[in-house]
Amino acid sequence: MLAALGFCTIGGFLLLTMTKRVSVLVALVLTPVVTAVIGGYGDDLGPMALDGLSKVAPTGIMIAFAVLYFSLMVDAGLFEPLIRGILRVARRDPLRITVGTAVLTICVALDGDGASTFLITISALLPVYRRLGMSRLVLAGVVGLGAGVMNMVPWGGPTARAAAALKLDTSEVITPLLPALAAGIAWVLLAACLIGRRERRRLGELGTPRPDEVAVGDGPGTPRVAPARAGTALTVFNLTLTLVLLVCLVLEAMPLPVLFVLAFVVALLVNHPGWEEQQALLEKHGNSVVLVTTMIFAAGVFTGILTGTGMIEKMAHAMVEVIPDGLGGHLPVLVAVTSMPLSLVFTPDAYYFGILPVLAGTADSFGTDPAEIARAAVLGQMTTGFPLSPLTAATFILLGMSGVQLGEHQRFIFRWAFGTTLVMTAAALLTGALPL
């Protein structure tokens, strides 16, 4: 019964959000509450929800101050040289800008952290997209694709989780997948070309703004004003502070929430020394902070209830039990193809530490190496699934900063993300990383 309730919870949530019946915030909270009450867990709702909230609290704090920090830097014009450089190289061509978005994301995502990748790339590129009237769905989708593929790096979440869950060395998981990673990067660049060409055609029909203006709104024809310029000394300070922050994030010199709190306070004090200026900036960007952080905490309630009731564990066992014996020898391919859509159902920890060991044990009975199951799981679960999953906090950073809805984002990018999984799985089969 718990497995059935779990699947109903996930299905109900996706149905409500993708059909826009209610907001994502409402769906995240109400769907697990309703199914938990039906399952007889009404008395335990408070502790379970609170446990989920406590786990996402550091992420919510980090995102709040990260949004404020990068919003301040955008207002100060820190990214203007980068924007002008991108526009100069891309020649205001939406196709080139879309491909450049993919390249920039792949480079930034080398740190293996999806949250910081989204914060940096969206902050830098959103003004470019606004300037040319390009769709924010394109920005969120392409950034998600690029970050998803690069999430395979050994220090990233999927590989580390898979290796830890099955007690493997990370080299056993990732080294055979390097050709598949190269194929995934090539596919992302091809997808960016195709998406960019479609966006170029759309904008060609609508007309594009002049390159010396910045969009206040989000589409062609909106009012535009000239960008604010910071003094040279202030720009140097902002750049130095941002670089120091990024280095500290990579080195994990302090907890990430603390780093962003300190960086924002210093940046606010230097850029806006007056009380009135500081209040004005907080009021200006407070709406963005609320939109992103409320989603994070609502997701905490969602996952807390699903985990606390045991729904996720029962769903994992139910899915393993339906695998026919005849498919046992093809389990790695089956895991690779299904792991991406399953990212919409399970949290990363639930999949890697709950489902993956059961799948590996099942595969072992058919003579399949557990390392092959780990590689198959990495190919889809977080590699191309996490930028779409409502169960990962990074997804809401991507959506909140780019200003797009979850359902629209999923409909726009799902086929491209699933295509990445298929391309990488085919490459893994051809190179022997997975058995035929």
Torsion of CA 55, 59, 64, 68, to 10 degrees: 170
The stretch 255-280 carries a mean pLDDT of 90
Could you write out the three-class secondary structure of 177-220? HHHHHHHHHHHHHHHHHHHHHHHHHHHHHHCCCCCCCEECCCCC
Burial of residue 247 (CB within 10 Å: 0-12, 13-18, 19+) is exposed
223 in a domain, yes or no? no
The stretch 364-378 carries a mean pLDDT of 84
405 in a domain, yes or no? yes
Burial of residue 30 (CB within 10 Å: 0-12, 13-18, 19+) is middle
**Which of 169-183, 288-302, 399-413 is predicted least confidently?**
288-302
Does 183 or 310 have the greater pLDDT score?
183
pLDDT of residue 111: 60
Domain that holds residue 383: 1-204+231-431
Residue 386 is inside which H or E element, if any?
none
Alpha-carbon gap, residue 344 to 391, rounded angstroms: 7
Does 162 or 35 have the greater pLDDT score?
35
Alpha-carbon gap, residue 165 to 209, rounded angstroms: 51
- The percentage of the chain sitting over the pLDDT mark of 70, rounded to a whole number, equals 86
The stretch 69-75 carries a mean pLDDT of 82
Single out the residue of 358, 343, 356 nearest to residue 395, CA to CA: 343
**Which of 210-214, 218-222, 269-273 is predicted least confidently?**
218-222
pTM assigned to the model: 0.70
pLDDT of residue 349: 66
> Per-residue pLDDT for 228 more than 70?
no
The stretch 119-140 carries a mean pLDDT of 88
> Per-residue pLDDT for 114 more than 90?
no
pLDDT band at 219 (very low <50, low <70, confident <90, very high): very low
Q: Are strands 214-215 and 224-225 parallel, antiparallel or unpaired?
A: antiparallel
Does 430 or 407 have the greater pLDDT score?
430
Does 247 or 63 have the greater pLDDT score?
247
pLDDT band at 205 (very low <50, low <70, confident <90, very high): low
353 in a domain, yes or no? yes
pLDDT band at 264 (very low <50, low <70, confident <90, very high): very high
Q: What is the mean pLDDT of the chain?
A: 81
CA 32 to chain centre: 22
pLDDT of residue 230: 54
- The percentage of the chain sitting over the pLDDT mark of 90, rounded to a whole number, equals 21
300 in a domain, yes or no? yes
214 in a domain, yes or no? no
Domain count, the chain: 1
Mean pLDDT highest for which of 7-21, 50-64, 376-390, 402-416? 402-416
222 in a domain, yes or no? no
> Per-residue pLDDT for 26 more than 50?
yes
pLDDT of residue 271: 92
> Per-residue pLDDT for 214 more than 50?
no
Judge whether 264 and 68 are in contact, CB under 8 Å: yes
- Three-state DSSP class for residue 45: helix
Q: What is the DSSP letter of 225?
A: E
65 in a domain, yes or no? yes
344 in a domain, yes or no? yes
Torsion of CA 166, 172, 173, 179, to 10 degrees: -170
Judge whether 138 and 421 are in contact, CB under 8 Å: no
Q: Give the tokens for residue 395.
A: 């997804």
> Per-residue pLDDT for 335 more than 70?
yes
